[in-house]
Each structure stands twice: as C-alpha cells, then as structure tokens.
Amino acid sequence: MVCERVSMIATRLEPSPTLKSALDAIARDNYFAEEGRFNKSDILASRLANYVKALGALGLDCEWSRHLLTESVYPIDATQRNLNRIAADPPALDGLVDWAGMTRERSSLNPAILLLTENSD
C-alpha cells in the first residue's frame, strides 16, 4: 500500500567479507524505522545523518545518491573507490558505465550502489 518501488538495471555484487557484518547492521538498525513508514519522500534528518555516519565509519559515502535512501534500499555512491571497498570482486566502473560527456565523476544522475535488504512490511 505504501511501499516505494525502485526501478533499476542491476549487476549483483558479492559483499566484501570484511564489511558484510557492518552492512547487515545498517539494515538491522533501520528495519521497521518510523514504524514501517521510512520513505525517501519524508526522511528524517536524523535518520539521514545516522546513515551517513554509519557509511563514513566504513569509508563509504552517499553524497550524490542519498536521495535514494528508503526502507530496505541503502544507497552508496558508485565510485571505483566505493566499489573496491564494498565488493569482494569489484567490477571496473568504466566497464559498467559510459562516462563520456560527464563533467565530473559524480552527479545526481549517476548510477548508485544499492544495499538491498528485507522490507519490514
């Protein structure tokens, strides 16, 4: 009834064993957030701040992908540095994305790494 849907073309990544438990903790901490009403159109500033802090502790960021944050979808900026940290066998980002014509490596239209987890409802 109130679930948000995310359309995507995706490549599945195996998480790095060194980050797996920390990524699981992020999902666990946000499970059933705001009594199941955790959605990107009405996110609490404190929830976003806590998420950014949790990513920062792992050496990751969501500077340009934060607008995708919602229950069970946890965005991480798709940079080669972040891919190298999060994936057990990281692909070359240049092989996945055509950067031609981009003025910078990141923009709000760039692809994102999404940690997809269980939804509380």
Calpha distance 118→97 (Å, rounded) = 27
Is the pTM higher than 0.85? no
Residue 67's nearest CA partner among 106, 104, 22, 33 is 106
Dihedrals phi, psi of 35, to nearest 5 degrees = 55, 40
- pLDDT digits 0-9 by tens, 68-101: 888 888 999 988 999 999 999 999 888 776 666 5
pLDDT at residue 11 above 90?
Answer: no
Domain limits of the chain? 20-89+109-116
Average pLDDT over the chain, rounded to an integer: 82
The pLDDT assigned to 102 comes to 56
Calpha distance 16→33 (Å, rounded) = 26
